[in-house]
């Protein structure tokens, strides 16, 4: 029987029993402060929010095995916004619905806030009740009934919703809140906005949920020793990028009204959410109100540990031979990326390619490298890329063992690899090794799982591995060929995934990816120009949108069109921001992006970087976006020639 690939499915939502690795970022969500979690799709936002959810902590063995016996000093609930909020609320014209109100948006805020508060109230009542049943809390039934009676007395509209049926305990109260937010959604969807407003409680937005949280905290902590002094509640809301701009202000305003013991964790795709503005004049959401966690800013070493931790969990829970071995009893070297994929130098990769190359010129380069090493008294792997760089850039130094020369050459090792492969027609560029695979993931855990999953499939096909058990405590890494073929297949699959969608937006996205991919590869690998090595691994592009203004050309609307294409590619993780000071609004004059690095094997550009900033020729780029009689390759060549003319060469200084 073919073993199951432990790295698939890659989406959290596609798992029956999600495997959640508790990364160090979990601690940032656990404090007495609201948190906004931003990241591109697939960066691990959902896993992070689920990691603190009471249900996962109580029932998910992958979380329990990592936590130990001590319960957290909070209870966190989780919901996806699209599952509980009708999209119709984003289409309401509040001024039209409430023409007599001096502030119609505040009426909209009241309805929106009430809906979110009812959802949160349902979930936290359900959580406290369930945790009592699980003996996490030990409050009395009398105290529970007293809380319910106090809430109903405080808000008569809730008592009316209860009616003759009565309300038994927190479970009954939770059902009331559930019926109310479902009713609100139905009324809003039908356009009965005034009826929806009538369901709202007589309280300012945020007051009801804060009061309820305080009562629930007191109930849960009634028994001595049940809670720490910092015990609190959290409401985690996922997929908030689905909110319209005015709704984002509503949610920000609700978060700003937070009072201990209630805090919010809000998750969204980085580019699609305004995390600052509120509905209140001269009041914004600041760092004093919430912490911002930007997953896209995760350092290379932190992301490497994330990939390794997620992989360890998947291998452990996929191996039936480990069912009797506790997670915390695994040896330290149970799963190591470097043991699985190896650590290979650029020269070792080139030497491996030389064994299979039919190019006499490449063989001669290797021989010259060996002669150079012999003169220098070195018997290590031939210094192929160093020899190539020195010959190409024309540096003839009497003594090339200077320390700064070594550092200078190392900065150009990947550029040399790409140029050598291009010059000597080596088509199978070896994207292999642990650090390379992690770098190709571009900070996205989903892309990492797609890459490593594809490598697993190829290694299985070659019979280098026969089961999941062969992934742990390896003494010999998987072959370079298995990695290279697997990585190339994963890269092509990412491109085919957007090519195969027939909608117009995706056709434009596909052309954009292919244009930037081919242009980046040409800039980074053309062996016939000195800039390839002198200013290596260029691929960060500035898009000057002001050049597309209607008064600067004969094609009205080009700026808005190109901006939409770029923003769409950014939101879907195809393009990654190239600088941190980038404006998120559609009126920005300049945007800066590079292509996601998982596309590197398909187009042949660097798995790291890119470095520096280049100005994208906007005429050619806009022509590609809107459609042109010229082929895409011809437009790429024109853009390359324009960059070559307009960008001064950064001549290196060695000493």
Is 324 within 8 Å of 391 (Cβ atoms)? no
Give pLDDT, residue 504. 66
pLDDT category of residue 396 using cuts at 50, 70 and 90: very low
DSSP-assigned states of every residue in 450-505: HHHHHHHHHHHHTTS-SSGGGGSS-SSPPPHHHHHHHHHHHHHHHHHHHHT--SHH
| Cα gap 378→315, rounded to integer Å | 41
Q: Are strands 541-544 and 262-269 parallel, antiparallel or unpaired?
A: unpaired
**Which residues lie across from 538 on neighbouring strands?**
611
* Segment 95-118 mean pLDDT: 93
**Which residues lie across from 79 on neighbouring strands?**
237
- 76 pLDDT more than 80: yes
406 CB-contact burial (10 Å; exposed 0-12 / middle 13-18 / buried 19+): exposed
* Segment 444-463 mean pLDDT: 96
For the chain, percent of residues with pLDDT exceeding 70 = 93
Is 38 within 8 Å of 80 (Cβ atoms)? no
What confidence tens digit (pLDDT) does each residue in 586-620 have? Answer: 567 899 999 999 999 999 999 997 988 999 999 99
**Which residues lie across from 37 on neighbouring strands?**
267, 293
Is the torsion defined by CA of 316, 322, 327, 328 positive or negative? negative
Is 226 within 8 Å of 68 (Cβ atoms)? no
* Segment 243-259 mean pLDDT: 93
* Segment 45-60 mean pLDDT: 93
What confidence tens digit (pLDDT) does each residue in 355-392 have? Answer: 888 789 999 999 999 998 888 877 788 999 999 999 88
pLDDT category of residue 256 using cuts at 50, 70 and 90: very high
DSSP-assigned states of every residue in 6-51: TT---SGGG-SS------GGGGGGSSSSEEEEEE-TTSSHHHHHHT
* Cis bond before residue 567 (omega within 30° of 0): no
* Segment 145-174 mean pLDDT: 87
Give pLDDT, residue 213. 97
Is 632 within 8 Å of 572 (Cβ atoms)? no
Q: What single-letter DSSP state applies at residue 548?
A: G
Whole-angstrom CA distances from 70 to 66, 226, 262, 370 are 11, 12, 21, 61
| Cα gap 514→504, rounded to integer Å | 16
* Segment 310-322 mean pLDDT: 92
More confidently predicted of 91 and 252: 252
CB within 8 Å of 440: residues ≥ 6 apart: 431, 447, 451, 487, 491, 597, 598, 600, 601, 607
- 445 pLDDT more than 60: yes
Q: How many residues does the chain have?
A: 655
* Segment 147-173 mean pLDDT: 86
- 473 pLDDT more than 60: yes
Q: What single-letter DSSP state applies at residue 403?
A: H
Is 267 within 8 Å of 240 (Cβ atoms)? yes
- 553 pLDDT more than 80: no
Is residue 84 helix, strand or coil? helix
Number of C-alpha atoms within 13 angstroms, CB side, residue 522?
A: 18
**Residue where the block lists tokens 């780029």:** 621
Give pLDDT, residue 550. 63
What confidence tens digit (pLDDT) does each residue in 407-422 have? Answer: 888 889 999 999 999 9
Give pLDDT, residue 584. 59
- 134 pLDDT more than 90: yes
| Cα gap 614→538, rounded to integer Å | 7
What confidence tens digit (pLDDT) does each residue in 188-208 have? Answer: 999 999 999 998 898 999 999
- The C-alpha torsion from 244 through 246 and 251 to 255, rounded to 10°, is 140
pLDDT category of residue 558 using cuts at 50, 70 and 90: confident
Give pLDDT, residue 451. 97
pLDDT category of residue 652 using cuts at 50, 70 and 90: very low
Q: Are strands 575-577 and 262-269 parallel, antiparallel or unpaired?
A: unpaired
| Cα gap 106→100, rounded to integer Å | 13
Residue 83: name the closest of 13, 35, 22, 19 by CA. Answer: 13
Number of C-alpha atoms within 13 angstroms, CB side, residue 22?
A: 20
Give pLDDT, residue 581. 64
272 CB-contact burial (10 Å; exposed 0-12 / middle 13-18 / buried 19+): middle
* Segment 321-350 mean pLDDT: 92
Give the rounded distance of the alpha carbon of 533 from its chain centre. 32
For the chain, percent of residues with pLDDT exceeding 90 = 64
* Segment 286-291 mean pLDDT: 92
- 397 pLDDT more than 60: no
Give pLDDT, residue 653. 43
Give pLDDT, residue 398. 42
Give pLDDT, residue 172. 93
Mean pLDDT score of the chain: 89
Give pLDDT, residue 164. 62
Alpha-helix runs per DSSP H in 60-155: 61-67, 81-84, 94-97, 104-133, 141-154
pTM over 0.85: yes
* Segment 115-142 mean pLDDT: 95
* Token reading at 501: 């969608």
Is 148 within 8 Å of 139 (Cβ atoms)? no
What confidence tens digit (pLDDT) does each residue in 495-537 have? Answer: 999 888 767 667 899 999 999 999 999 999 999 888 888 888 9
């Amino acid at each position: 029987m073919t073993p199951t690939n432990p790295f698939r499915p890659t989406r959290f939502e596609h798992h029956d029993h999600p495997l959640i690795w508790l990364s160090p970022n979990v601690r940032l969500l656990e404090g007495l402060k609201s948190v906004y979690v931003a990241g591109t799709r697939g960066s691990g936002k959902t896993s992070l929010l689920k990691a603190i959810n009471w249900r996962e902590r109580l029932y998910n063995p992958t979380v329990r095995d990592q936590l130990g016996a001590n319960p957290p000093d909070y209870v966190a609930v989780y919901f996806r916004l699209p599952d509980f909020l009708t999209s119709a609320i984003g289409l309401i014209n509040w001024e039209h619905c409430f023409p007599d109100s001096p502030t119609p948006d505040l009426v909209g805020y009241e309805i929106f806030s009430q809906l979110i508060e009812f959802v949160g109230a349902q979930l936290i009542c359900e959580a406290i009740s369930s945790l009592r049943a699980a003996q996490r809390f030990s409050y009395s039934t009398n105290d529970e009934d007293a809380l319910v009676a106090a809430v109903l007395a405080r808000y008569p509209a809730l008592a009316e919703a209860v009616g003759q049926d009565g309300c038994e305990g927190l479970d009954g109260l939770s059902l009331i809140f559930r019926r109310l937010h479902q009713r609100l959604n139905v009324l809003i969807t039908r356009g009965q906005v005034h009826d929806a407003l009538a369901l709202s409680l007589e309280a300012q937005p945020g007051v009801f949920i804060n009061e309820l949280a305080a009562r629930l905290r007191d109930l849960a902590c009634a028994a001595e020793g049940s809670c720490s002094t910092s015990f609190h509640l959290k409401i985690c809301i996922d997929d908030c990028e689905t909110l319209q701009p005015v709704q984002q202000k509503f949610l920000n305003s609700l978060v700003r009204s937070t009072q201990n013991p209630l805090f919010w964790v809000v998750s969204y795709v980085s580019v699609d959410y305004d995390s600052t503005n509120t509905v209140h004049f001269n009041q914004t959401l600041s760092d004093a109100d919430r912490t911002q966690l930007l997953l896209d800013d995760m350092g290379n070493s932190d992301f490497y540990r994330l990939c390794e931790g997620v992989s360890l969990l998947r291998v452990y829970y996929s191996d039936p031979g480990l069912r009797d071995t506790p997670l915390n009893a695994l040896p330290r070297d149970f799963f190591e990326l470097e043991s699985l994929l190896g650590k290979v130098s650029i020269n070792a990769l080139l030497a491996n390619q030389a064994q299979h190359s039919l190019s006499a010129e490449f063989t001669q380069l290797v021989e010259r490298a060996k002669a150079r090493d012999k003169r220098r008294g070195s018997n290590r792997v031939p210094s192929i890329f160093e020899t190539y760089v020195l010959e190409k850039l024309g540096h003839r130094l009497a003594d090339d063992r200077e320390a700064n020369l070594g550092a200078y050459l190392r900065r150009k090792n990947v550029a040399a690899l790409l140029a050598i492969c291009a010059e000597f027609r080596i088509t199978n560029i070896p994207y292999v090794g642990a650090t390379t695979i992690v770098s190709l993931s571009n900070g996205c855990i989903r892309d990492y799982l797609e890459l490593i999953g594809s490598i697993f499939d190829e290694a299985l096909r070659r019979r280098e591995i026969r089961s999941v058990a062969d992934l742990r405590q390896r003494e010999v890494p998987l072959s370079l060929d298995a990695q290279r073929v697997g990585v190339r297949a994963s890269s092509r699959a990412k491109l085919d995934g957007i090519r195969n969608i027939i909608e117009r937006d995706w056709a434009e996205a596909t052309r954009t990816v292919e244009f930037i991919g081919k242009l980046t590869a040409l800039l980074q690998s053309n062996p016939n120009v000195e800039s390839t090595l002198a200013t290596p691994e260029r691929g960060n592009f500035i898009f000057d949108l002001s050049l597309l203004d209607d008064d600067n050309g004969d094609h009205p609307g080009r700026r808005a069109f190109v901006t939409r294409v770029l923003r769409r590619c950014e939101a879907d993780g195809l393009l990654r921001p190239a600088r941190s000071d980038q404006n998120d609004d559609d009126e920005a004059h300049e945007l800066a992006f590079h292509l996601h690095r998982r596309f590197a094997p398909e187009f042949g550009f660097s798995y790291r970087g890119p470095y520096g900033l280049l100005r994208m020729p906007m005429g050619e780029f806009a022509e590609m976006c809107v459609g042109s009689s010229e082929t895409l390759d011809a437009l790429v060549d024109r853009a390359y020639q324009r960059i070559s003319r307009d960008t001064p060469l950064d001549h290196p200084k060695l000493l």
